[in-house]
């Protein structure tokens, strides 16, 4: 019988709260320029920052920097954790077919419909002609098709396809991953060192070759050039741990990871602060900064990333080990909220541009209303459309069957 792993289900709920909060406060970063980014001019930074507000709060910079380092990596890690049991149960072909339905189709719908709907608000902030027809012309003239937060889905689909291919054609590779995880056992320090070592090899060369920040796009398929191999590392690290079961090794609710949550949190704060300090030496232009600064900043990223992921996982295992009605609902609706929230976030930020409130007040309003709207929409649609419960309850992060 399927059984939910309570700490990981609750962590999924916390993650979606962080995602909505992250997007909600982006217009209010102290590091943002005074004016919004032009819609038609490279490097099209409005894709990441659709709205720029005059109100600023430096605390949001610290929050977003921390989440930029570890949040997406954690999401790929969690997706990997639940891939192994799902893949073993369904087989390679069945699993890949399932991923097409649950990840591929939502990505296409989000890119085709939800992303333009959200970015219309961004266009209006600098538009000479605010009509929908003018927006459509400008949108189609772009050299890419921005998909917004849905970029995560296509990269997750690729990693899922790699896992399915390995299961079909090279199963011993996956068995070796599981054996390696078994050798590490319930030793957080060993896992931390392994993650840092492997992700250093995957991240540093790409960061130095391209930059820590640059993106490339082909149509709706966007990738941050320094991080795709890092996401691969964490996805298969999660796969290795999940292949051993949810109550063994590092994922034990009462294991060493949960007992050392405070130490891991302190390590995350130290490594994150180090990364922030070294990265500040490379600003405003990564490529124009001295090579030594870029190298130090790149080397600081893997330990900050690993400690951020493991500390959040440890806190979930230690403190989020009981069922809660609200967290259960958030977890069940997390995938739909991820797909829907960005439209509400961007339009709320646009609506608040002319309102005389502080950055903290605006960020709180956007977060609360966008979360409530997307949560309610997800719940309502799931009750009306049979397809949505499949996406929402067994989507990208938690196909929680044992």
CA distance 205 to 212: 10
- Select from 210, 204, 183 the least CA-distant residue to 194: 183
d(CA 148, CA 377): 19
Residue 367: both structure tokens together: 């977060």
Picking from 82, 68, 26, 49, the residue whose alpha carbon sits closest to that of residue 334 is: 82
| Half-sphere exposure at residue 144, Cβ-oriented, CA atoms within 13 angstroms | 22
Q: In the chain, where are the structural domains located?
A: 6-393
Asked whether 390 and 381 are in contact (CB, 8 A), the reply is no
* Chain-centre distance for alpha carbon 225: 15
Measured distance between the N- and C-terminal CA atoms of the chain, rounded to whole angstroms: 8
**In this predicted structure, what is the pLDDT of residue 243?**
87
pLDDT at 74: 97
Report helix, strand or coil for 234.
Answer: helix
Q: What is the pLDDT along the chain (402 residues), one digit of tens a residue?
A: 245 689 999 999 999 999 999 999 999 999 999 999 999 999 999 999 999 999 999 999 999 999 999 999 999 999 999 998 899 899 999 999 999 999 999 999 999 999 999 999 999 999 999 999 999 999 999 999 999 999 999 999 999 999 999 999 999 998 888 888 888 878 999 999 999 999 999 999 999 999 999 999 999 999 999 999 999 999 999 999 988 877 778 888 888 999 999 999 999 999 999 999 999 999 989 999 999 999 999 999 999 999 999 999 999 999 999 999 999 999 999 999 999 999 999 999 999 999 999 999 999 999 999 999 999 999 888 777 654 544 444 444 434 433
What's the pLDDT score for residue 4?
64
Residues 328, 74: Cα–Cα separation, whole Å: 19
State phi, psi for 91 to the nearest 5 degrees: 80, 160
CA-to-CA dists, residue 273 to 18, 201, 227, 264, 308, angstroms: 20, 22, 20, 14, 12
Distance between alpha carbon 366 and the CA centroid of its chain, in Å? 19
Q: How far is CA 44 from CA 139, 205, 384, 385, in A?
A: 12, 25, 38, 36
The string of DSSP codes covering 249-298 is GGG-TTSHHHHTHHHHHHHHHHHHHHHHHHHHTT-S-TTTS-HHHHHHHH
Contacts 24+ apart (CB under 8 A), 161-167: 161/96, 161/99, 162/232, 163/80, 163/83, 163/87, 163/95, 163/235, 163/236, 163/239, 164/87, 164/92, 164/93, 164/95, 164/96, 164/99, 165/92, 167/87, 167/91, 167/92, 167/95
- C-alpha–C-alpha distance, residues 337 and 374, integer Å: 5
């Amino acid at each position: 019988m399927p059984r939910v792993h309570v700490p990981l289900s609750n962590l999924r709920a916390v993650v979606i709260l962080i995602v909505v909060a992250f997007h909600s406060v982006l217009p209010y970063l102290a590091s943002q320029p005074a004016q919004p980014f032009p819609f038609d001019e490279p490097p099209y930074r409005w894709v990441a920052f659709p709205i720029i507000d005059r109100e600023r709060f430096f605390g949001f910079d610290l929050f977003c920097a921390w989440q930029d380092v570890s949040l997406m990596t954690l999401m790929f890690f969690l997706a990997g954790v639940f891939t192994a049991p799902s893949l073993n149960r369904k087989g390679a072909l069945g699993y890949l077919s399932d991923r097409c339905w649950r990840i591929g189709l939502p990505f296409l719908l989000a890119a085709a419909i939800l992303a333009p709907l959200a970015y219309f608000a961004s266009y209006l902030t600098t538009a000479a002609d605010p009509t929908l027809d003018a927006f459509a012309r400008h949108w189609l003239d772009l050299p890419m098709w921005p998909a917004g937060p849905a970029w995560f889905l296509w990269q997750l689909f690729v990693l899922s396809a790699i896992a399915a291919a390995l299961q079909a054609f090279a199963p011993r590779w996956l068995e070796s991953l599981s054996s390696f995880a078994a050798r590490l056992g319930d030793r957080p320090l060993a896992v931390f060192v392994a993650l840092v070592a492997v992700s250093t090899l995957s991240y540093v060369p790409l960061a130095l070759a391209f930059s820590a920040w640059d993106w490339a796009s082909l149509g709706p398929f966007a990738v941050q050039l320094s991080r795709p191999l890092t996401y691969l590392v964490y996805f298969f690290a999660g796969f290795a741990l999940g292949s051993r079961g949810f109550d063994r090794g590092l994922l034990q609710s009462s294991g060493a990871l949960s007992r050392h949550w405070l130490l891991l949190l302190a390590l995350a704060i130290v490594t994150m602060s180090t990364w922030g300090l070294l990265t500040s030496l490379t600003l405003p232009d990564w490529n124009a900064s001295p090579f030594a600064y870029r190298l130090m900043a790149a080397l600081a990223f893997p330990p900050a990333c690993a400690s951020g992921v493991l500390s959040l996982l440890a806190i979930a295992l230690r403190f989020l080990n009981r069922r809660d009605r609200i967290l259960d609902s958030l977890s069940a609706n997390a995938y739909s909220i991820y797909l829907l929230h960005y439209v509400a976030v961007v339009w709320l930020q646009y609506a608040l541009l002319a309102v005389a409130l502080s950055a903290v007040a605006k960020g709180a309003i956007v977060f609360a209303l966008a979360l409530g709207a997307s949560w309610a929409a997800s719940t309502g649609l799931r009750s009306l459309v049979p397809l949505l419960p499949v996406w929402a309850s067994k989507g990208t992060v938690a196909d929680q069957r044992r």
